[in-house]
């Protein structure tokens, strides 16, 4: 479950300021989106019409660019990002069970962020260390040869999204 993406008047004013600095520079859309994401941790959906107006584009064009880049997000992300590998090597060595346990432990589904913004859960096609399968990545640190006990140990501070 994700936190509602409501923003304050102050945040909206800050978006206006950032956008006005890049006004009418179509080439600057990516740096502008990155700047907003760096400041808020994501790109508030409310900023999309503002960005579009400023660049002389349709909101759907801005949304299209955001959707194209996997590194741009329109939802808040957790402080800790957990990625569970769904690649073949991990799958045949129990990756499906590992994903189920991680979901249960974090209390969220893949693609979701916990309401306290502590965790985001994602799945990936292959981390590139198949010999260690099944793998999960927590805050960019790979944990190989995962099993139920290791999942419990790794996420011991978490119990069903508490
Ligand atoms: S399949 Fe999981 S690391 Fe390659």
Please report the atom of ligand 1 found closest to the CA of residue 90. Answer: 2
Q: pLDDT tens, 106-150?
A: 999 998 999 999 999 999 999 999 999 999 999 999 999 999 999
Q: Residue 116 to residues 1, 72, 79, 145: CA-CA distances in angstroms? A: 10, 21, 10, 29
Q: What angle do CA 1, 124, 138 make, to 5 degrees?
A: 70
Question: In this predicted structure, what is the pLDDT of residue 24?
Answer: 65
What is the average pLDDT across 1-26? Answer: 77
Q: Does residue 129 have its Cβ closer than 6 Å to ligand 1?
A: yes
Tell me the CA–centroid distance for residue 134 and ligand 1, in Å: 7
This prediction has a pTM of 0.74
Mutate to test the pocket of ligand 1, among 92, 98, 132, 135 (most ligand atoms within 8 A of CB): 135
How far does the centroid of ligand 1 lie from the alpha carbon of residue 106, in Å? Answer: 22
- pLDDT at res. 2: 47
Is the minimum distance from the CB of 136 to ligand 1 under 6 angstroms?
Answer: no
Given ligand 1 and candidates 83, 84, 90, 97, which is best to mutate, with the most ligand atoms within 8 Å of its CB? 90
């Amino acid at each position: 479950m994700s936190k509602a993406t409501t923003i304050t008047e102050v945040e909206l004013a800050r978006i206006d300021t950032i956008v006005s600095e890049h006004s009418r520079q179509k080439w600057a859309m990516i740096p502008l989106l990155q700047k907003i994401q760096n400041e808020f941790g994501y790109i508030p959906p409310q900023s999309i019409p503002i960005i579009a107006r400023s660049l002389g584009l349709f909101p759907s064009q801005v949304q299209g660019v955001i959707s194209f880049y996997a590194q741009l997000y329109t939802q808040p992300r957790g402080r800790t990002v957990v990625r569970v590998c769904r690649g073949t090597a991990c799958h045949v060595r129990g990756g499906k069970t590992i994903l189920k346990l991680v979901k249960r432990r974090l209390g969220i589904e893949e693609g979701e962020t916990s309401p306290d913004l502590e965790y985001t859960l994602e799945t990936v096609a292959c981390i590139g260390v198949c010999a260690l399968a099944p793998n999960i990545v927590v805050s960019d640190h790979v944990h190989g040869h995962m099993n139920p006990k290791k999942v419990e140990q790794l996420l011991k501070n978490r119990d069903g999204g508490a």
